[in-house]
Amino acid sequence: MKDLRGVSSEFLRSLWYKNEPVCVLCSEGDGPICPICTENYLHPELGRCLGCGKLIPIDLLQCQDCEAGKGPKQLDKVVAWGHYYGGLKEFIQNVKFNAHPNYIGQIIKPFSEWAISQLPAVDGVVAVPMHATKLGERGFNQAEVIASALHWELGLPILQGVKRIETRVSQVLLSRKERLQNLRGVFAVPNPEDYSGRSVWLVDDVTTTGATLEAVAEVLRGSGVRTIYGLCLAAGREKKLVPSSE
């Protein structure tokens, strides 16, 4: 690494990241994330499913789906920072649908600190690519913004070159099986030699079934990537844990 990097990253960081005096998720408690929101959305007391990143009881290794072999297979481990729910869900939706990529700066410090506590160091960060049409509507790819922020925060290089070839039906309304089918052949790596033998963090904003991460991981594996860790801002929570939904 160049010595300069520390300096320039520190300097650039000061442009985006103000110290957050109030909690980013609830605007009430102390910033950047207050103890109550930490408890409600980040759940440090829960474990993460190794297969798909879902929030699960601390004594388990995998969620029921992954246990039953229905989860992603290409990833070495997946972790999600918090539960895609309430304040964290609103925050992510505000970033995406109200076009506020700058808000990522407000959470990147606690998020990146958490990420290095959960995942081993790697050769670089890969953002899940977005199709050009959606990119045009939104003006930015939130996964890319998170990856860039991680780069500035932790000095990890960004690995580019995964392409999204076409848009399929939006994932939201599909079943798990349909989701995996729906994503076949959507991603490609034109220059596999850039990836051969590398280890990466594969970054996205939200994961529900892990299908998107799996589809990208598949082409990364095909390009010779050695180790792939999935990293997301938020994921679902094992249903069994929520009494009201039973």
Partner 1 sequence: MLFFLTINKNGIVSYFPHLERDKQGSDVSLLTTPLPLAVIEEIQDQLHRRKLLDMWNFGKNKNTKLEIIRLLNDICGDTLHFSWEQIQANTLSHQGRFEEEVKDEIGVRFNQIVLGRQISIRDFRGLARELKILEERVIELAHRNVVQGKAQWVPSVKQHGRGWQCQRCGQEDVEEWPSLYGTAATCRGCQSIGVSTSLDVLYRDQRLLIESPREVIFLPHWDLTEAQRLASVQVLNYIQEASEGRALLWAACGAGKTEVCFPSAAWALKQGKSVLFAAPRQDVIYDIMPRLKRDFPKYPLQVLTGESSVKFQSGGLVLATTHQVLRFWRAFDIIFMDEMDAFPYQGSKALDWGLEHALRQGGKILYLTATPSPEGLKLVKQGKMRLIQLPARHHRKPLPIPVWLKSAYSLEPNCNGCTEEVVLQIRTLRREGPVLVFVPKISWVGSWIKSLRQYFPDWKVDGSYSSDLGRAQKIKRLIRGEFDLFVSTTILERGVTLPGIQVVVLGADHSIFDERALVQMAGRVGRTQECPGGGVIYISKQISPAMKTAVRWIKDQNRRAMELGLLDQQEGRRNLERSQRSL
Question: Which residues of this protein are in contact with partner 1, per CB under 8 A?
Answer: 2, 5, 8-9, 12, 15-16, 99-102, 104-105, 132-133, 136-140, 144-145, 147-149, 151-152, 157-160, 191, 194
- Alpha carbon separation from 33 to 27, 38, 40, 98 (Å, rounded): 9, 6, 11, 21
Whole-number minimum distance, CB 96 to partner 1, in Å?
12
Of 75 and 130, the one with the shorter C-beta distance to Zn ion is 75
Cis omega (within 30 of 0) for bond into 32: yes
- Closest by Cα among 12, 86, 78, 13 to 50: 78
Site membership for Zn ion, residue 26 (CB under 5 A): yes
Site membership for Zn ion, residue 86 (CB under 5 A): no
Site membership for Zn ion, residue 23 (CB under 5 A): yes
Cβ–Cβ contacts within 10 Å for residue 66, how many? Answer: 22
Of 127 and 211, the one with the shorter C-beta distance to partner 1 is 127
Among 32, 42, 49, 146, binds Zn ion (CB under 5 A): 49
Residue 29's binding partner among Zn ion, partner 1, none (Cβ under 5 to 8 angstroms by kind) is Zn ion
Among 17, 31, 32, 34, binds Zn ion (CB under 5 A): 34
DSSP one-letter string for 92-158: HHHHHHTT-GGGHHHHHHHHHHHHHHHS---SEEEEPP--HHHHHHHSS-HHHHHHHHHHHHH-PPB
Of 49 and 146, the one with the shorter C-beta distance to partner 1 is 146
Residue 157's binding partner among partner 1, Zn ion, none (Cβ under 5 to 8 angstroms by kind) is partner 1
Among 25, 55, 211, 216, binds Zn ion (CB under 5 A): 25
User: Which chain residues interact with Zn ion by CB under 5 A?
Assistant: 23, 25-26, 29, 34, 37, 49, 51-52, 54, 63, 66, 71
